[in-house]
Structure 1
Amino acid sequence: MSTKSKDSRPGGRSARVRAAVHQATVDLVHEIGADKVTIPAVARRAGVNPSSLYRRWGTISALLADVATRQHDEETPELHGELREDLERVAVWTLNDLSRPGGVAFFRAEVAPDVDDRRAGLRECLRRVSTRFQAALEAPARRGERTPSLEQVLDRVVAPLYFRVVFSIPETDEAYARSLVAELCDDAGPGPAATPRSSA
């Protein structure tokens, strides 16, 4: 077996180095702020040669974006199959994730200066948040309950949360997140999903 295949397998050296670098990045963001974190600083904290980080990630923005992707994929709120309660859980989780130390910084890192990288980062961010909220809609929809569309959730819950956190608008708290969900669910109305009428 080649050295390359050993390093790239799950649990191999490459995975251990990535985990160490990610943890060092998170720790430094919490300690000094994302704007002060550099590749050499992360390398020193992780005990890795800086050249390895430059080869793998290239820039600190790319590294921050990679950390954000891993955190979002590994940490997801638990769902119980009830529409409003699950939407509230995901909305509160999303708010807390953005509001934690470095949360907005990790999001901004995905919105890279390069146009192509920015589009890719935004698409990935949208994919992750859509997947979480879509999961909250699926069980009620399978039971035939009336549910808002994913687009409505993104427009009326996700967009306001991101906007208010990014611009540090006061009173953007868990109660506000729940109120967005309540308004959306109230507008959707109770009862079974509407079925299209057949034409006479």
Structure 2
Amino acid sequence: MPTSDPRPNGRAARVQQAVHDAVRSLQSRTDRQDISVPRVAALAGVAPSTVYRRWGDLNQLLADVAVARLRPEGPPDTGSVHGDLTAWAEQYIEESATPTGRAFLRDMVSGGPECTSAWRGGEYARERIEMMLQRGRRRGETVPDIEDIVDLLLAPIIYRILFEPAVPPAGMARRLADRLFARNAAGWSGQAARGT
């Protein structure tokens, strides 16, 4: 995996952006089997050795691009946790259920321990969920448990995207969010007031 550059406009950041852009460009116009490190490097304007040094191999690179793609700037702010989770899940489905999105997600999952550690731990999703929950607590809302959100909202979406060829049905995000809130309403224990 690439080492993060403390300078957002530094050389390492520019190389990473150029390589990621090259991968996305190739993925949008060529078959997966035709993508190679030398082709990516040529399009990015860097030496293949730079790509190998920073990412190790093509699978690691593709997984890194997938992780980056699925890290939006931040979750939506609709004014309620229910609305935020619904909008976030809808955005996730929209981005990930396309052929390119499915390929990115599979690349992320198959990229090896380094690339998949964040995915397997759910870090990228948990960070965004926690931001939504914190906003809700500040507003005084009673919020669901993060484990219930992962199990009842996120996991079914990922299952559909990875294992079913059809696009997830319209309204799936809202239906899952409604079910999450209905199922957990009686079991919540004042998390908003305590901030736990």
Shift of 1:8: 7.3
Shift of 1:166: 0.6
Are 2:120 and 1:123 aligned? yes
Partners of 1:148 and 1:72 in 2: CA distance: 23
TM-score normalised by length of structure 2: 0.81
Shift of 1:94: 1.5
Q: Which is higher, the Rg of structure 1 or of structure 2?
A: 1
Letter aligned with residue 9 of structure 2 = G
Aligned length: 187
8 Å CA contact retained: 2:84, 2:132: yes
Partners of 1:112 and 1:121 in 2: CA distance: 13
Partners of 1:10 and 1:24 in 2: CA distance: 19
SS in 1 for 2:70: helix
Letter aligned with residue 51 of structure 2 = L
Are 2:189 and 1:194 aligned? yes
* Partner of residue 90, structure 2: 92
TM-score normalised by length of structure 1: 0.79
CA offset digits 1:6-59 (Å, max 9, x no partner)? x97431332222111110111111222445422112112212221211111111
- Aligned CA distance change for structure 1 residues 117 and 139 (closer, same or farther; 3 Å): closer
Are 2:27 and 1:32 aligned? no
Are 2:67 and 1:72 aligned? no
8 Å CA contact retained: 2:85, 2:132: yes
Percentage of matched positions with identical amino acids: 33
* Partner of residue 3, structure 1: none
SS in 1 for 2:110: coil
- Runs of 5+ unmatched residues, structure 1: 1-6
SS in 1 for 2:79: coil
